[in-house]
Structure 1
């Protein structure tokens, strides 16, 4: 039987999509340096990542962010007006601690280190974006990136993100991001790059 083609047209990710979103992002981040650092065990990494991203989606970004997906990718964005609400509450933090186990302390330190580079200006934040490796090269991630950037441009806002994967930097630079700085995460963690993209005129003028 011929497999059904996967659509790379962005659509709003609903809370009911959590199993799909969690599975896709678990596969997408299986080779991400920071996620491999948080989940060092090869045998349990995909399951741990699935729980991690499902929790972020259902308890945090799915409630207070702008979440979109294709059939093989997902992205979580936060507009300026949603950033205070998108901070995880105590119950969410406890759930993440349980998922991360003995890496929870390092995770907390990494979040604090990344926060030091967050720009004070109002901005859109690209919290998570990833495509299933089996579908890479088919435009899924690019479609989601363009969709979110268009929303930020329509609002006249810059966009901020962090990445721990060097291969991703040229991709983001292609879309107009520039590196603001880098930090080596505590506890021998990987390097994290902070990037910013200035707003563009949505009319193209």
Structure 2
């Protein structure tokens, strides 16, 4: 399908957050972090805004030109980080300071994130609910994966649902074998994709 994609910048921040908020409103992980739906509606955008800010500052945000989808990518170097990632604490502080889960989800995924090889990290991808299942997300991801293949760069992500896990498997990602199990909540599936030879 012909999805027109452009790279987003700071001027697109609100649109990126809106897409993510709509796409993840009913996601199992978001529902675990913010169990009360009215409360989730009030704070979810601030929570997701931290992801957008981090990626706009140091990564790549792709945006479907029709405003229906976005993908947030970070390039992660090899080697353990020299200092603790403060992003989980920022997520909690920005969205819901009294909610431990708003920080815990980032700490748990960070604990299993691989650091032995440089890789492209698909931090988040969101497609507007009314357009899901049309191949838009796959088109967004495929462009970056093709570049990864050319550069010999692996890719990594955490799938937050069985549905998304199946999509990523079709794109060549494989489950690393260790789930991230949220306390009394859903599991997430860390997934790795080795670059494909041309």
TM-score range, shorter chain: 0.7 to 0.9
Q: Are 1:65 and 2:62 counterparts?
A: no
Q: Are 1:183 and 2:175 counterparts?
A: no
Q: Contact (CA 8 Å) 2:89, 2:103: kept in 1 or not? A: no
After superposition, the CA RMSD in angstroms is 2.5
- Show structure 1 runs of 5+ residues with no match: 1-6
For the residues of structure 2 that align with 1:165 and 1:55, how far apart are their CA atoms?
A: 21
Match of 2:35 in 1: 40
For the residues of structure 2 that align with 1:51 and 1:165, how far apart are their CA atoms?
A: 22
Q: Contact (CA 8 Å) 2:92, 2:103: kept in 1 or not? A: no
Q: CA distance change for structure 1 residues 8 and 45 in 2, over 3 Å: closer, same or farther? A: farther
Q: With the length of structure 2 as denominator, give the TM-score of the two structures.
A: 0.85
Number of equivalenced pairs: 191
Alignment of 1:1-205 (within 5 A): 8-58=3-53, 60-70=54-64, 71-81=67-77, 89=86, 93-94=89-90, 96-103=92-99, 105-119=100-114, 120-181=116-177, 182-185=179-182, 187-201=183-197, 204=198
Q: With the length of structure 1 as denominator, give the TM-score of the two structures.
A: 0.83
- Show structure 2 runs of 5+ residues with no match: none
SS at match of 1:102: coil
Runs of 4+ in 1 over 6 A off after TM superposition: none
